[in-house]
Structure 1
Protein backbone atom coordinates (compact mmCIF):
# COMPACT_ATOMS: atom_id res chain seq x y z
CA UNK A 1 0.00 0.00 0.00
CA UNK A 2 2.86 2.39 0.75
CA UNK A 3 4.03 2.12 -2.84
CA UNK A 4 0.59 3.03 -4.13
CA UNK A 5 0.35 6.08 -1.87
CA UNK A 6 3.77 7.31 -2.98
CA UNK A 7 2.80 7.23 -6.65
CA UNK A 8 0.62 9.86 -8.23
CA UNK A 9 -2.71 8.63 -9.53
CA UNK A 10 -4.19 9.43 -12.93
CA UNK A 11 -7.77 8.87 -14.04
CA UNK A 12 -8.10 8.71 -17.82
CA UNK A 13 -11.64 8.52 -19.21
CA UNK A 14 -12.22 6.67 -22.45
CA UNK A 15 -8.85 4.95 -22.19
CA UNK A 16 -9.41 1.55 -23.80
CA UNK A 17 -8.23 2.58 -27.26
CA UNK A 18 -6.89 5.36 -29.46
CA UNK A 19 -5.76 8.60 -27.84
CA UNK A 20 -6.99 7.61 -24.39
CA UNK A 21 -5.04 4.38 -24.39
CA UNK A 22 -1.90 6.21 -25.53
CA UNK A 23 -2.35 8.71 -22.69
CA UNK A 24 -2.77 5.95 -20.12
CA UNK A 25 0.41 4.35 -21.47
CA UNK A 26 2.42 7.59 -21.19
CA UNK A 27 1.25 8.36 -17.67
CA UNK A 28 2.06 4.81 -16.56
CA UNK A 29 5.48 5.21 -18.19
CA UNK A 30 5.90 8.33 -16.05
CA UNK A 31 5.38 6.15 -12.97
CA UNK A 32 1.76 6.97 -12.19
CA UNK A 33 -0.89 4.53 -11.07
CA UNK A 34 -3.66 4.64 -13.66
CA UNK A 35 -7.43 4.22 -13.53
CA UNK A 36 -8.45 2.88 -16.95
CA UNK A 37 -12.03 3.72 -17.87
CA UNK A 38 -14.47 2.04 -20.21
CA UNK A 39 -17.90 3.45 -20.95
CA UNK A 40 -19.89 0.37 -19.89
CA UNK A 41 -19.69 -3.07 -18.30
CA UNK A 42 -19.79 -4.54 -21.80
CA UNK A 43 -16.50 -2.88 -22.67
CA UNK A 44 -14.92 -3.47 -19.24
CA UNK A 45 -12.85 -6.44 -20.53
CA UNK A 46 -11.03 -4.00 -22.82
CA UNK A 47 -10.22 -1.79 -19.82
CA UNK A 48 -9.02 -4.83 -17.90
CA UNK A 49 -6.76 -5.78 -20.78
CA UNK A 50 -5.21 -2.29 -20.97
CA UNK A 51 -4.79 -2.15 -17.20
CA UNK A 52 -3.06 -5.53 -17.07
CA UNK A 53 -0.70 -4.55 -19.88
CA UNK A 54 0.30 -1.32 -18.11
CA UNK A 55 0.99 -3.13 -14.86
CA UNK A 56 3.07 -5.75 -16.62
CA UNK A 57 5.10 -3.25 -18.63
CA UNK A 58 5.66 -0.52 -16.04
CA UNK A 59 5.05 -2.14 -12.67
CA UNK A 60 2.43 0.42 -11.68
CA UNK A 61 -0.89 -0.25 -10.00
CA UNK A 62 -3.93 -0.02 -12.27
CA UNK A 63 -7.67 -0.11 -11.79
CA UNK A 64 -10.18 -0.80 -14.59
CA UNK A 65 -13.53 0.91 -14.01
CA UNK A 66 -16.67 0.93 -16.14
CA UNK A 67 -18.45 4.30 -15.99
CA UNK A 68 -20.52 6.34 -18.40
CA UNK A 69 -19.33 9.83 -17.50
CA UNK A 70 -22.48 11.39 -18.97
CA UNK A 71 -24.28 10.00 -15.91
CA UNK A 72 -23.48 11.99 -12.78
CA UNK A 73 -23.62 9.01 -10.42
CA UNK A 74 -21.28 6.96 -12.60
CA UNK A 75 -18.77 9.79 -12.97
CA UNK A 76 -18.79 10.26 -9.20
CA UNK A 77 -18.34 6.51 -8.73
CA UNK A 78 -15.31 6.58 -11.04
CA UNK A 79 -13.52 9.15 -8.88
CA UNK A 80 -14.70 7.41 -5.70
CA UNK A 81 -13.23 4.13 -6.95
CA UNK A 82 -9.87 5.80 -7.53
CA UNK A 83 -9.94 7.33 -4.05
CA UNK A 84 -10.88 4.03 -2.43
CA UNK A 85 -8.14 2.12 -4.25
CA UNK A 86 -5.31 4.66 -4.03
CA UNK A 87 -6.32 7.32 -1.52
CA UNK A 88 -5.77 10.17 -3.97
CA UNK A 89 -6.49 11.56 -7.44
CA UNK A 90 -3.70 13.71 -8.84
CA UNK A 91 -4.38 13.81 -12.58
CA UNK A 92 -7.69 13.77 -14.43
CA UNK A 93 -7.70 13.42 -18.20
CA UNK A 94 -11.16 13.92 -19.69
CA UNK A 95 -10.76 12.05 -22.95
CA UNK A 96 -14.09 10.24 -23.35
CA UNK A 97 -15.94 11.50 -26.40
CA UNK A 98 -18.20 10.57 -29.29
CA UNK A 99 -19.29 11.99 -32.65
CA UNK A 100 -22.71 12.00 -34.33
CA UNK A 101 -22.01 14.02 -37.47
CA UNK A 102 -24.57 15.68 -39.68
CA UNK A 103 -25.57 19.01 -41.17
CA UNK A 104 -27.19 21.38 -38.70
CA UNK A 105 -30.44 21.65 -40.64
CA UNK A 106 -30.92 17.89 -40.52
CA UNK A 107 -29.51 17.01 -37.12
CA UNK A 108 -31.85 15.39 -34.62
CA UNK A 109 -32.10 16.49 -31.01
CA UNK A 110 -31.04 12.98 -30.02
CA UNK A 111 -27.75 13.21 -31.93
CA UNK A 112 -27.08 16.70 -30.61
CA UNK A 113 -27.82 15.76 -27.01
CA UNK A 114 -25.80 12.53 -27.11
CA UNK A 115 -22.62 14.38 -28.07
CA UNK A 116 -23.16 17.20 -25.58
CA UNK A 117 -23.92 14.73 -22.78
CA UNK A 118 -20.70 12.73 -23.21
CA UNK A 119 -18.23 15.35 -24.44
CA UNK A 120 -19.28 18.37 -22.40
CA UNK A 121 -21.46 17.26 -19.52
CA UNK A 122 -19.28 14.22 -18.89
CA UNK A 123 -16.23 16.46 -18.65
CA UNK A 124 -18.07 18.67 -16.16
CA UNK A 125 -19.12 15.70 -14.02
CA UNK A 126 -15.56 14.42 -13.75
CA UNK A 127 -14.03 17.87 -13.17
CA UNK A 128 -16.46 18.54 -10.35
CA UNK A 129 -15.85 15.17 -8.70
CA UNK A 130 -12.06 15.30 -9.00
CA UNK A 131 -11.73 18.93 -7.93
CA UNK A 132 -12.66 18.08 -4.34
CA UNK A 133 -9.76 15.72 -3.55
CA UNK A 134 -7.36 17.82 -5.62
CA UNK A 135 -8.20 20.97 -3.66
CA UNK A 136 -7.88 19.10 -0.38
CA UNK A 137 -4.43 17.76 -1.24
CA UNK A 138 -3.48 21.11 -2.83
CA UNK A 139 -2.11 19.54 -6.00
CA UNK A 140 -3.78 18.48 -9.18
CA UNK A 141 -3.75 18.45 -12.96
CA UNK A 142 -6.95 18.56 -15.02
CA UNK A 143 -6.43 18.01 -18.74
CA UNK A 144 -9.47 18.21 -20.99
CA UNK A 145 -9.61 16.99 -24.56
CA UNK A 146 -11.03 19.66 -26.82
CA UNK A 147 -10.44 19.77 -30.59
CA UNK A 148 -9.40 22.18 -33.32
CA UNK A 149 -13.04 21.84 -34.37
CA UNK A 150 -13.96 23.51 -31.08
CA UNK A 151 -11.65 26.41 -31.95
CA UNK A 152 -12.47 26.89 -35.64
CA UNK A 153 -15.72 25.01 -36.24
CA UNK A 154 -16.34 22.40 -38.93
CA UNK A 155 -19.22 21.87 -41.33
CA UNK A 156 -21.24 18.80 -40.44
CA UNK A 157 -20.16 18.79 -36.80
CA UNK A 158 -22.24 21.45 -35.06
CA UNK A 159 -22.81 19.24 -32.03
CA UNK A 160 -19.18 18.16 -31.75
CA UNK A 161 -17.88 21.70 -32.30
CA UNK A 162 -20.27 23.08 -29.68
CA UNK A 163 -19.22 20.43 -27.16
CA UNK A 164 -15.51 21.00 -27.71
CA UNK A 165 -15.86 24.79 -27.63
CA UNK A 166 -17.74 24.36 -24.37
CA UNK A 167 -14.86 22.30 -23.00
CA UNK A 168 -12.55 25.25 -23.66
CA UNK A 169 -14.75 27.65 -21.72
CA UNK A 170 -15.11 25.13 -18.93
CA UNK A 171 -11.35 24.62 -18.75
CA UNK A 172 -10.60 28.32 -18.51
CA UNK A 173 -13.21 28.76 -15.80
CA UNK A 174 -12.08 25.88 -13.61
CA UNK A 175 -8.47 27.00 -14.08
CA UNK A 176 -9.40 30.36 -12.51
CA UNK A 177 -11.30 28.70 -9.70
CA UNK A 178 -8.60 26.22 -8.69
CA UNK A 179 -5.31 28.00 -9.38
CA UNK A 180 -4.82 29.14 -5.78
CA UNK A 181 -5.02 25.51 -4.65
CA UNK A 182 -2.14 24.53 -6.94
CA UNK A 183 -4.49 22.76 -9.33
CA UNK A 184 -4.03 23.52 -13.02
CA UNK A 185 -6.52 22.97 -15.84
CA UNK A 186 -5.62 22.98 -19.52
CA UNK A 187 -7.23 21.91 -22.78
CA UNK A 188 -5.58 19.97 -25.57
CA UNK A 189 -7.04 20.51 -29.04
CA UNK A 190 -6.00 17.69 -31.38
CA UNK A 191 -6.23 18.01 -35.13
CA UNK A 192 -6.62 14.92 -37.31
CA UNK A 193 -5.13 11.99 -35.42
CA UNK A 194 -4.79 8.45 -36.79
CA UNK A 195 -7.45 6.58 -34.80
CA UNK A 196 -10.47 4.38 -35.49
CA UNK A 197 -12.37 7.52 -36.52
CA UNK A 198 -9.89 8.47 -39.25
CA UNK A 199 -9.49 4.84 -40.34
CA UNK A 200 -13.07 5.06 -41.58
CA UNK A 201 -12.13 7.83 -44.04
CA UNK A 202 -11.47 7.04 -47.68
CA UNK A 203 -8.01 7.46 -49.19
CA UNK A 204 -9.18 10.54 -51.08
CA UNK A 205 -10.54 12.08 -47.89
CA UNK A 206 -7.27 11.40 -46.08
CA UNK A 207 -5.31 12.96 -48.95
CA UNK A 208 -7.51 16.07 -48.86
CA UNK A 209 -6.98 16.40 -45.12
CA UNK A 210 -3.23 15.80 -45.30
CA UNK A 211 -2.86 18.50 -47.95
CA UNK A 212 -4.06 21.04 -45.35
CA UNK A 213 -1.56 19.95 -42.69
CA UNK A 214 1.80 21.70 -42.64
CA UNK A 215 3.61 18.61 -41.37
CA UNK A 216 2.17 16.59 -44.26
CA UNK A 217 0.77 13.74 -42.17
CA UNK A 218 -1.94 12.79 -39.74
CA UNK A 219 -0.96 12.94 -36.10
CA UNK A 220 -0.40 9.86 -33.96
CA UNK A 221 -2.02 9.23 -30.56
CA UNK A 222 1.47 9.50 -29.04
CA UNK A 223 1.66 13.13 -30.25
CA UNK A 224 -1.25 13.93 -27.93
CA UNK A 225 -0.10 11.66 -25.12
CA UNK A 226 3.34 13.27 -25.00
CA UNK A 227 1.80 16.69 -24.37
CA UNK A 228 -0.57 15.32 -21.74
CA UNK A 229 2.35 13.71 -19.95
CA UNK A 230 4.08 17.11 -19.75
CA UNK A 231 0.96 18.95 -18.61
CA UNK A 232 0.51 16.35 -15.87
CA UNK A 233 4.04 16.92 -14.54
CA UNK A 234 5.57 19.25 -11.97
CA UNK A 235 7.32 21.07 -14.82
CA UNK A 236 3.96 22.39 -16.05
CA UNK A 237 3.01 24.00 -12.74
CA UNK A 238 2.86 27.54 -14.21
CA UNK A 239 0.68 26.62 -17.19
CA UNK A 240 -3.05 26.83 -16.62
CA UNK A 241 -6.15 27.89 -18.53
CA UNK A 242 -4.46 27.29 -21.88
CA UNK A 243 -5.67 25.67 -25.09
CA UNK A 244 -2.87 23.92 -26.95
CA UNK A 245 -3.51 22.83 -30.54
CA UNK A 246 -1.72 19.67 -31.65
CA UNK A 247 -2.54 19.67 -35.34
CA UNK A 248 0.69 19.63 -37.34
CA UNK A 249 0.18 23.24 -38.40
CA UNK A 250 -3.25 22.70 -39.95
CA UNK A 251 -4.75 25.72 -38.21
CA UNK A 252 -1.97 28.18 -39.13
Structure 2
Protein backbone atom coordinates (compact mmCIF):
# COMPACT_ATOMS: atom_id res chain seq x y z
CA UNK A 1 0.00 0.00 0.00
CA UNK A 2 1.26 3.44 -0.97
CA UNK A 3 -0.01 6.47 0.89
CA UNK A 4 -0.25 9.54 -1.34
CA UNK A 5 -1.22 13.13 -0.54
CA UNK A 6 -2.30 15.45 -3.34
CA UNK A 7 -2.93 19.08 -2.43
CA UNK A 8 -5.32 21.25 -4.39
CA UNK A 9 -7.48 18.14 -4.40
CA UNK A 10 -10.66 19.87 -5.47
CA UNK A 11 -9.29 21.38 -8.69
CA UNK A 12 -9.10 19.92 -12.16
CA UNK A 13 -5.41 19.04 -12.13
CA UNK A 14 -5.41 17.69 -8.57
CA UNK A 15 -8.43 15.51 -9.32
CA UNK A 16 -6.82 14.29 -12.55
CA UNK A 17 -3.62 13.31 -10.74
CA UNK A 18 -5.53 11.55 -7.97
CA UNK A 19 -7.75 9.63 -10.38
CA UNK A 20 -4.71 8.51 -12.38
CA UNK A 21 -3.14 6.99 -9.27
CA UNK A 22 -6.41 5.33 -8.30
CA UNK A 23 -6.91 3.89 -11.78
CA UNK A 24 -3.35 2.66 -12.27
CA UNK A 25 -2.28 1.52 -8.79
CA UNK A 26 -4.67 -0.76 -6.93
CA UNK A 27 -2.52 -0.44 -3.80
CA UNK A 28 -2.66 3.36 -3.71
CA UNK A 29 -4.47 5.18 -0.93
CA UNK A 30 -5.15 8.78 -1.88
CA UNK A 31 -5.60 11.74 0.42
CA UNK A 32 -7.02 14.84 -1.24
CA UNK A 33 -5.95 17.99 0.59
CA UNK A 34 -8.57 20.74 0.30
CA UNK A 35 -8.96 24.22 1.72
CA UNK A 36 -12.72 24.74 1.90
CA UNK A 37 -14.67 23.67 -1.17
CA UNK A 38 -14.87 19.87 -1.00
CA UNK A 39 -17.52 19.09 -3.63
CA UNK A 40 -15.50 17.56 -6.46
CA UNK A 41 -13.04 15.93 -4.07
CA UNK A 42 -15.85 14.30 -2.09
CA UNK A 43 -17.41 13.05 -5.33
CA UNK A 44 -14.16 11.37 -6.38
CA UNK A 45 -13.63 9.89 -2.91
CA UNK A 46 -17.13 8.41 -2.89
CA UNK A 47 -16.28 6.42 -6.00
CA UNK A 48 -13.28 4.80 -4.30
CA UNK A 49 -14.44 3.93 -0.76
CA UNK A 50 -11.57 2.97 1.51
CA UNK A 51 -8.99 4.11 -1.05
CA UNK A 52 -9.59 7.85 -1.28
CA UNK A 53 -10.21 10.35 1.51
CA UNK A 54 -10.56 14.09 1.77
CA UNK A 55 -8.55 15.93 4.40
CA UNK A 56 -8.68 19.58 5.43
CA UNK A 57 -5.43 21.31 4.57
CA UNK A 58 -4.84 25.04 4.41
CA UNK A 59 -1.51 24.82 2.61
CA UNK A 60 -0.29 28.24 3.74
CA UNK A 61 -0.57 27.22 7.41
CA UNK A 62 2.31 25.15 8.83
CA UNK A 63 0.15 23.93 11.73
CA UNK A 64 -2.42 22.60 9.26
CA UNK A 65 0.36 20.71 7.46
CA UNK A 66 1.57 19.20 10.72
CA UNK A 67 -1.93 18.04 11.64
CA UNK A 68 -2.65 16.58 8.21
CA UNK A 69 0.62 14.67 7.99
CA UNK A 70 0.18 13.31 11.51
CA UNK A 71 -3.33 12.10 10.64
CA UNK A 72 -2.12 10.37 7.48
CA UNK A 73 0.83 8.67 9.17
CA UNK A 74 -1.31 7.56 12.11
CA UNK A 75 -3.93 6.13 9.74
CA UNK A 76 -1.74 4.54 7.08
CA UNK A 77 1.47 4.02 9.03
CA UNK A 78 3.44 5.95 6.43
CA UNK A 79 3.35 8.69 3.80
CA UNK A 80 5.08 7.76 0.56
CA UNK A 81 4.23 10.49 -1.94
CA UNK A 82 3.49 14.19 -1.69
CA UNK A 83 2.20 16.04 -4.73
CA UNK A 84 2.31 19.77 -4.02
CA UNK A 85 -0.35 20.85 -6.49
CA UNK A 86 -2.28 23.63 -4.72
CA UNK A 87 -1.78 27.16 -5.99
CA UNK A 88 -3.38 30.25 -7.44
CA UNK A 89 -2.58 33.26 -9.56
CA UNK A 90 -3.59 36.92 -9.57
CA UNK A 91 -2.22 38.44 -12.75
CA UNK A 92 -1.43 42.12 -12.92
CA UNK A 93 1.30 44.31 -14.36
CA UNK A 94 3.90 44.98 -11.67
CA UNK A 95 3.44 48.77 -11.70
CA UNK A 96 -0.19 48.33 -10.68
CA UNK A 97 0.14 45.21 -8.54
CA UNK A 98 -1.26 45.58 -4.99
CA UNK A 99 0.94 44.30 -2.17
CA UNK A 100 -1.73 41.75 -1.29
CA UNK A 101 -1.68 40.27 -4.80
CA UNK A 102 2.08 39.74 -4.52
CA UNK A 103 2.05 38.26 -1.03
CA UNK A 104 -0.98 36.01 -1.53
CA UNK A 105 0.46 34.44 -4.68
CA UNK A 106 3.89 33.91 -3.11
CA UNK A 107 2.24 32.42 -0.03
CA UNK A 108 -0.08 30.06 -1.92
CA UNK A 109 2.48 28.86 -4.45
CA UNK A 110 5.90 29.02 -2.80
CA UNK A 111 5.44 29.21 0.98
CA UNK A 112 2.94 26.36 0.77
CA UNK A 113 5.49 24.12 -0.95
CA UNK A 114 8.06 24.96 1.72
CA UNK A 115 5.62 24.09 4.52
CA UNK A 116 4.59 20.87 2.79
CA UNK A 117 8.10 19.65 2.06
CA UNK A 118 9.24 20.40 5.59
CA UNK A 119 6.24 18.55 7.06
CA UNK A 120 6.81 15.32 5.11
CA UNK A 121 10.59 15.09 5.07
CA UNK A 122 10.92 13.76 8.62
CA UNK A 123 8.48 10.82 8.26
CA UNK A 124 9.93 10.04 4.83
CA UNK A 125 13.45 10.00 6.25
CA UNK A 126 12.34 7.64 9.01
CA UNK A 127 10.99 5.17 6.44
CA UNK A 128 13.97 5.74 4.11
CA UNK A 129 11.69 6.34 1.15
CA UNK A 130 9.76 9.23 -0.29
CA UNK A 131 8.66 10.92 -3.46
CA UNK A 132 7.97 14.67 -3.56
CA UNK A 133 6.58 16.09 -6.79
CA UNK A 134 6.05 19.84 -6.89
CA UNK A 135 3.71 21.22 -9.55
CA UNK A 136 5.39 24.38 -10.78
CA UNK A 137 4.50 25.98 -14.12
CA UNK A 138 5.93 26.80 -17.50
CA UNK A 139 5.82 30.38 -16.20
CA UNK A 140 8.83 29.49 -14.06
CA UNK A 141 11.05 29.38 -17.16
CA UNK A 142 8.96 31.29 -19.73
CA UNK A 143 7.23 34.04 -17.74
CA UNK A 144 4.49 35.98 -19.51
CA UNK A 145 3.50 39.58 -19.02
CA UNK A 146 1.51 40.24 -15.86
CA UNK A 147 2.84 37.32 -13.84
CA UNK A 148 5.80 38.71 -11.91
CA UNK A 149 4.31 37.29 -8.71
CA UNK A 150 3.31 33.89 -10.10
CA UNK A 151 6.44 33.41 -12.20
CA UNK A 152 8.69 34.32 -9.26
CA UNK A 153 6.83 31.88 -7.00
CA UNK A 154 7.01 29.01 -9.48
CA UNK A 155 10.67 29.64 -10.27
CA UNK A 156 11.24 29.48 -6.52
CA UNK A 157 9.44 26.14 -6.40
CA UNK A 158 11.86 24.72 -8.98
CA UNK A 159 14.92 26.03 -7.11
CA UNK A 160 13.56 24.80 -3.78
CA UNK A 161 13.07 21.34 -5.24
CA UNK A 162 16.55 21.19 -6.72
CA UNK A 163 18.12 22.19 -3.42
CA UNK A 164 16.02 19.83 -1.32
CA UNK A 165 16.78 16.98 -3.72
CA UNK A 166 20.45 17.25 -2.77
CA UNK A 167 19.68 17.39 0.94
CA UNK A 168 17.59 14.21 1.05
CA UNK A 169 19.07 12.10 -1.74
CA UNK A 170 20.90 9.72 0.60
CA UNK A 171 17.70 9.07 2.54
CA UNK A 172 15.96 7.47 -0.44
CA UNK A 173 13.81 10.53 -1.15
CA UNK A 174 13.51 12.11 -4.58
CA UNK A 175 12.26 15.64 -5.25
CA UNK A 176 11.19 16.74 -8.71
CA UNK A 177 9.21 19.54 -10.33
CA UNK A 178 6.66 19.35 -13.12
CA UNK A 179 6.09 22.44 -15.27
CA UNK A 180 2.75 22.26 -17.08
CA UNK A 181 1.93 24.64 -19.89
CA UNK A 182 -1.65 25.19 -21.04
CA UNK A 183 -3.75 22.37 -19.54
CA UNK A 184 -7.51 21.95 -20.04
CA UNK A 185 -8.74 22.70 -16.52
CA UNK A 186 -10.98 25.29 -14.90
CA UNK A 187 -7.94 27.57 -14.71
CA UNK A 188 -8.40 28.26 -18.44
CA UNK A 189 -12.11 28.89 -18.04
CA UNK A 190 -11.76 32.67 -18.29
CA UNK A 191 -10.10 32.55 -21.71
CA UNK A 192 -12.36 33.60 -24.56
CA UNK A 193 -12.30 31.77 -27.89
CA UNK A 194 -9.94 34.23 -29.55
CA UNK A 195 -7.46 33.99 -26.67
CA UNK A 196 -7.60 30.20 -26.85
CA UNK A 197 -6.87 30.27 -30.59
CA UNK A 198 -3.93 32.63 -30.09
CA UNK A 199 -2.52 30.46 -27.31
CA UNK A 200 -2.75 27.32 -29.42
CA UNK A 201 -0.92 29.03 -32.28
CA UNK A 202 2.08 29.34 -29.98
CA UNK A 203 2.08 25.62 -29.18
CA UNK A 204 3.82 23.40 -31.76
CA UNK A 205 1.28 20.62 -31.09
CA UNK A 206 -1.53 23.15 -31.65
CA UNK A 207 -3.59 21.95 -28.69
CA UNK A 208 -3.82 22.25 -24.93
CA UNK A 209 -2.71 19.41 -22.70
CA UNK A 210 -4.98 17.13 -20.71
CA UNK A 211 -4.81 16.64 -16.93
CA UNK A 212 -4.09 12.93 -17.43
CA UNK A 213 -1.00 13.81 -19.48
CA UNK A 214 0.40 15.71 -16.52
CA UNK A 215 -0.77 12.96 -14.17
CA UNK A 216 1.13 10.31 -16.15
CA UNK A 217 4.39 12.18 -15.59
CA UNK A 218 3.64 12.63 -11.90
CA UNK A 219 2.83 8.92 -11.63
CA UNK A 220 6.19 8.01 -13.14
CA UNK A 221 8.12 10.37 -10.88
CA UNK A 222 6.34 8.82 -7.88
CA UNK A 223 7.29 5.29 -8.90
CA UNK A 224 10.26 3.10 -8.05
CA UNK A 225 11.22 3.26 -11.74
CA UNK A 226 12.16 6.92 -11.19
CA UNK A 227 14.49 6.17 -8.29
CA UNK A 228 17.47 7.81 -10.05
CA UNK A 229 15.54 10.91 -11.14
CA UNK A 230 15.80 13.78 -8.67
CA UNK A 231 16.16 17.53 -8.89
CA UNK A 232 14.57 17.46 -12.34
CA UNK A 233 12.25 20.09 -13.82
CA UNK A 234 10.05 18.43 -16.43
CA UNK A 235 8.18 20.64 -18.89
CA UNK A 236 4.84 19.38 -20.17
CA UNK A 237 3.88 22.02 -22.69
CA UNK A 238 3.42 20.61 -26.18
CA UNK A 239 6.85 21.84 -27.24
CA UNK A 240 6.49 25.59 -26.66
CA UNK A 241 10.28 25.89 -26.46
Please classify the TM superposition score into its range, dividing by the shorter chain length: over 0.9
Query: Which structure shows the bigger proportion of residues in helix conformation?
Result: 1
User: 2: distance between equivalents of 1:132 and 1:48?
Assistant: 29
Aligned residues: 239
User: 2: distance between equivalents of 1:119 and 1:54?
Assistant: 29
Deviation by residue 1:47-79 (Cα, 9 ceiling, x = unmatched): 322222233xxxx52221111110111122121
**Counterpart of 2:29?**
33
Match runs of 1:114-193 below 5 Å: 114-193=104-183
TM normalised by structure 2 equals: 0.96
How far apart are residue 150 of structure 1 and its match? 0.7
**Counterpart of 1:221?**
211
**Counterpart of 2:2?**
8
- Retained in 2: the 8 A contact 1:189–1:246? yes
- Retained in 2: the 8 A contact 1:39–1:69? yes
Q: Does the alignment pair 1:195 with 2:185? A: yes
Cα RMSD for the two superposed structures: 1.1
Q: Does the alignment pair 1:19 with 2:38? A: no
Q: Does the alignment pair 1:244 with 2:234? A: yes
Question: Unaligned regions of 5+ residues in structure 2, if any?
Answer: none
**Counterpart of 1:4?**
none
TM normalised by structure 1 equals: 0.92
How far apart are residue 45 of structure 1 and its match? 4.2
- Retained in 2: the 8 A contact 1:146–1:190? yes
Q: Does the alignment pair 1:83 with 2:83? A: no
SS in structure 2 at match of 1:176: helix
**Counterpart of 1:54?**
48
